[in-house]
Amino acid sequence: MFRTGSVGRFLFLCGLVTINLWSLASVYGISRQSVPADTIAIFKEELSDTMSTLEYHDEFLSFYEKNNYQTVLLNRFLRNGQLAYLLSDLESVADHGLDPEIFRASEFRLIMEEINREKWFRDIETYRKKVKLELLTAYAVLKYSTIMEFGLVEPQSVDSNYFSTTVTADSTFVTRVLERREVKNYLDSIQPRDRVYKAFQFALKSDELAPGKTLEETKSVLSVNMERLRWKNRQTEPKYVMVNLANFSLDVIDQEESVLNMKVCVGESGRWASPQLNSKIYSVQVNPVWNIPVSIAKSETVRNAKRDRYYLANNNIAVYKDGKRIGNPSAIDWTINNAEDYVFKQMPGELNALGKIKFLFNNDCGVYLHDTPLKSAFKKKNRAISHGCIRLEKPMELALFLFGEGAKYEQIKKAMLNGYPQAKYIGLPQSVPITLTYFTAFTDDKGDVVYCDDIYGLDEVLSARLIAGR
């Protein structure tokens, strides 16, 4: 930037005097009305080089343009050891199952130590280091804040079946973080305080082993489940229904305590995997009709009908074409007819795959909770056996929680005992939140960490993204 020659050297020295005076003023909090043009050019250059490959590039450009390209955060944080406190937190993120290099911690420490050794900003390269430390500070504070409050990885990048509403950082959040006047109290305030999260941290530090896993594998499981806890997708109402797909379990939560627990069956791994989502249960259907999806009709219903011409009638499955019910479905030759041309409905009764009751909540995946006539399935260890919907071990206990004692609950019981079952919808007095989620580590009633299998293989995907830092 500066070339040889007497005039050039003179201008260079004059510029350094300006830089040194400004730098010292910045360190000791002395305000200044204007910034030398040369330092602005250096700042812009470093901003472009340092931030071009990192998140928040546009937000940083806006922030520093507004602040006339000054080392704003260093002016705030160099005093009172606040920058050292930030570095300490960055280097301790293994307690959160994270790698310090996500925040460029080693580079941060190196430059900070170099600048601390410089009592005077003697040359342009030292000033560049100061600007770089400013930008690394801004990046680290914002990255750390974002991860602690929202998580590091986007859930949809891990699971294509993820549909839960999840809050993420926006421009308002970025601005609020960069406007912080101090570090220590702020960093302390954003530490996750969830008791399950704390239990995971304790397990991580104590080097405990999950059953059948190595220490490295155990730490990986804890790390990915801590990340899931950081995602802002959890129910905020005091009462809700939670299905942990990985553990084949349903809990009714009231004031953060489980008041009802039962086994469930969930979707098979692969095309039938159950989704992760948030919704609200608004109604039940007693003696439900099962509208068999085309995919299941093609892969199972018609295949069985080919083997046994009476399969449809014996399983109470009605067949429709062009909106009209076919009187004798056993006469259909499925070797020349396509399943796509027909609609299949399993009518209410003892054989219905949905049992005697199903619980409805809005979602785009067409899934719901339901009873099942196959009670033996709940004795299996691996209960990933459905086509995506959730089969319930204790449907009537869930109905009692949702409706409470009273006329509607009695109506449900009476309808289910009817010898001539007919489908009937009964709306809830008030909708109840439900979340279908996925945790391969959680805590029991004593607060101890419990582990389960990664039935959909999502832990490995999430672990790789945590290691990559995105």
**Distance from C-alpha of 343 to C-alpha of 324, rounded to nearest angstrom:** 9
Alpha carbon distances (Å) from 309 to 305, 339, 404, 422: 5, 15, 45, 26
Contacts of 394 (CB under 8 A, 6+ apart): 260, 262
Q: What are phi and psi of 267, to 5 degrees?
A: -70, 145
Is residue 147 within 8 A of residue 230, CB to CB? The reply is yes
Burial class of residue 432 in the structure, from the number of CB atoms within 10 Å of its CB (0-12 exposed, 13-18 middle, 19+ buried): buried
Q: Which residues contact 138 (CB under 8 A, 6 or more apart)?
A: 60, 63, 73, 178
Residues annotated as catalytic (active site), given as ranges = 370, 389
d(CA 402, CA 446): 27
In contact, 250 and 274? CB cutoff 8 Å: no
Rg of the Cα atoms in the chain: 31
C-beta separation of 369 from 358 below 8 A: yes
CA atoms of 423 and 412, how far apart (whole Å): 11
Do 320 and 345 touch, CB atoms closer than 8 A? Answer: yes
- Beta sheet of 324-325, edge-to-edge order: 290-292, 343-346, 317-321, 324-325
